[in-house]
């Protein structure tokens, strides 16, 4: 597991480096606010299409080959960004990165292969820590390296550094990371999504009690958070005249909150309050955060809004995944969690598209006001879910 953690962390660090820079690269190449958000949606759409495919491939040929292909693909995408001379090349790079992101499917499968049922959640948590650290440290490094006087060459150095990190990851995985998949289908758990397909898996999942309600919440939460995530850089530029450095530090601030909430607070909170109550509270935090962002006009209000958004999402996401795994039938958690992940990806595709349209045609506060109104719907759905769970006695809501 330590080697897998290192590989995923280093590779994702390259993605983290690009988070604050990519919107400004799009603007530099003549892009509009809608183009910026479409860049975000392009990667998510490609990942949504390719994710199940790479899951099936990793089942057939092993996890390591898929990881190696992914590291090569992401490195190539970073090189394309570094030498892009038009907006279309940025879109092409994002599409390549999404289509070849087999690590998103193979890394959790690898962790599942090498873990026992009693410590599988802990191993998955390690991957979550790798994601959180990479997406916190990466933007901070970019913020430090790129200031307001940065040249085109400075902008090129960041994706080149990301490409180097992908190369380092490739070498580590190639020479030191062993294959995890057992031969002849001897894995403890089979990939049910790969067997049944996403559409059939979706139909089966929503037949479970309350699962349709949970999947709807998963989509709306991802949709709303993607509204903020895809527009925050251009909002900061237009409102506060920020550049790459300041936006990078803002993502560090949000990342630290995410790590604290996911790594320290979520366990005690769910034990004390129960998952449905945590979900309601987290949805309220997201609603407050979006409402605050819709009226923000200075740094202090921005930091308050981002704090509510980051903590709300940090509490929502694992709570929803836990509810999905607990409410489905034994032996179908793989299908249910796969459907949940696909639904979340769909929210990350559609959210940025609408956010960019609202930002460009109505105003910079429009994506946040609309997001706040959607979160009121989510709160109502969460309250309905808790009522049904209590009535059906499917979960104890006072304790997890």
Residues 159 and 284 both lie in one domain: no
Residues 162 and 201 both lie in one domain: no
- Residue 333: pLDDT band (50, 70, 90) is low
Q: Is residue 297 part of a domain?
A: yes
* Per-state percent for the chain, helix, strand, coil, to nearest 5: 85, 0, 15
What does the pLDDT read at residue 396? 45
pLDDT for 398 beyond 60: no
For the chain, how long is the longest CA-to-CA vector? Answer: 62
Residues 240 and 353 both lie in one domain: yes
pLDDT for 200 beyond 70: no
Residues 197 and 316 both lie in one domain: yes
- Residue 196: pLDDT band (50, 70, 90) is low
pLDDT (mean) for 106-124: 66
**Which domain range does residue 66 map to?**
1-177
pLDDT digits (tens, 9 = 90+) for 210-241: 888 888 999 999 999 999 989 999 999 999 99
Residues 259 and 297 both lie in one domain: yes
What does the pLDDT read at residue 6? 87
Of 177, 204, 236, the domain-final residue: 177
CATH code at position 10: 1.20.1250.20
pTM, two decimals, is 0.81
Of 154, 177, 200, the domain-final residue: 177
Residues 199 and 245 both lie in one domain: yes
Residues 216 and 144 both lie in one domain: no
Q: Is residue 129 part of a domain?
A: yes
Q: Is residue 160 part of a domain?
A: yes
The burial of 346, by beta-carbon neighbours within 10 Å (0-12 exposed, 13-18 middle, 19 or more buried), is given as middle
Query: Into how many domains does the chain fold?
Result: 2
Residues 50 and 150 both lie in one domain: yes
What does the pLDDT read at residue 123? 64
- The DSSP secondary structure of 94-129, one letter per residue, reads HHHHHHT-THHHHHHHHHHHHS-GGGHHHHHHHHHH
Q: Is residue 310 part of a domain?
A: yes
Q: Is residue 173 part of a domain?
A: yes
pLDDT for 153 beyond 80: no
Q: Is residue 182 part of a domain?
A: no
- Residue 369: pLDDT band (50, 70, 90) is very high
Residues 153 and 199 both lie in one domain: no
pLDDT for 39 beyond 50: yes
Mean pLDDT rounded to a whole number for the chain? 83
What does the pLDDT read at residue 335? 62
Residues 57 and 97 both lie in one domain: yes
pLDDT digits (tens, 9 = 90+) for 253-302: 998 998 888 777 877 887 888 888 889 999 999 999 999 999 999 999 99
pLDDT for 395 beyond 60: no
Q: Is residue 395 part of a domain?
A: yes
Residues 393 and 301 both lie in one domain: yes
Which pairs count as long-range contacts for 162-165, CB under 8 Å and 24+ apart, including other chains?
162/13, 162/14, 162/15, 162/17, 162/18, 162/75, 162/78, 163/14, 163/75, 163/76, 163/78, 163/79, 163/82, 165/10, 165/11, 165/13, 165/14, 165/17
What does the pLDDT read at residue 397? 41
Q: Is residue 184 part of a domain?
A: no
Of 119, 154, 177, the domain-final residue: 177
Residues 267 and 160 both lie in one domain: no
């Amino acid at each position: 597991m330590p080697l897998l953690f290192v590989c995923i962390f280093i590779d994702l660090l390259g993605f983290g480096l690009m988070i604050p820079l990519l919107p400004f690269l799009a603007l530099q190449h003549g892009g509009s606010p809608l183009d910026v958000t479409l860049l975000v949606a392009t990667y998510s759409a490609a990942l949504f299409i390719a994710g199940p495919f790479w899951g099936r491939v990793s089942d057939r040929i092993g996890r390591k080959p898929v990881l190696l292909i992914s590291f090569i693909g992401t490195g190539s995408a970073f090189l394309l960004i570094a030498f892009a001379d038009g907006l279309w090349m940025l879109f092409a790079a994002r599409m390549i990165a999404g289509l070849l992101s087999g690590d998103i499917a193979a890394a959790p499968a690898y962790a599942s292969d090498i873990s026992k049922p009693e410590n599988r959640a802990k191993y998955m948590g390690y991957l979550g820590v790798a994601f959180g650290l990479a997406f916190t440290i990466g933007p901070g490094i970019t913020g430090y390296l790129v200031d307001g006087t940065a040249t085109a060459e400075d902008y090129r150095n960041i994706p080149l550094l990301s490409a180097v990190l992908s190369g380092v990851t490739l070498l580590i995985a190639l020479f030191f990371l062993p294959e995890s998949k057992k031969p002849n289908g001897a894995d403890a758990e089979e990939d049910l999504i790969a067997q049944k397909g996403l559409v059939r898996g979706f139909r089966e999942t929503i037949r479970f009690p309350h699962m349709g309600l949970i999947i709807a919440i998963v989509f709306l939460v991802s949709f709303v958070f993607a509204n903020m995530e895809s527009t925050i850089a251009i909002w900061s530029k237009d409102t506060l005249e920020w550049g790459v450095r300041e936006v990078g530090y803002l993502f560090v601030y949000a990342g630290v909150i995410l790590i604290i909430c996911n790594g320290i607070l979520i366990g005690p909170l769910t034990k004390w309050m129960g998952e449905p109550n945590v979900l309601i509270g987290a949805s309220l935090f997201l609603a407050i955060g979006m409402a605050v962002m819709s009226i923000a006009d200075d740094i202090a209000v921005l930091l308050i809004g981002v704090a509510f958004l980051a903590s709300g999402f940090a509490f929502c996401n694992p709570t929803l995944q836990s509810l999905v795994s607990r409410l489905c039938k034994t032996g179908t958690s793989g299908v249910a969690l796969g459907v949940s992940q696909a639904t979340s990806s769909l929210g990350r595709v559609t959210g940025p598209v609408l956010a960019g349209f609202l930002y460009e045609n109505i105003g910079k506060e429009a994506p946040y006001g609309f997001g706040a109104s959607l979160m009121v719907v989510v709160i109502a759905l969460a309250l309905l879910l808790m009522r049904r769970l209590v009535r059906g006695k499917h979960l104890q809501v006072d304790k997890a």
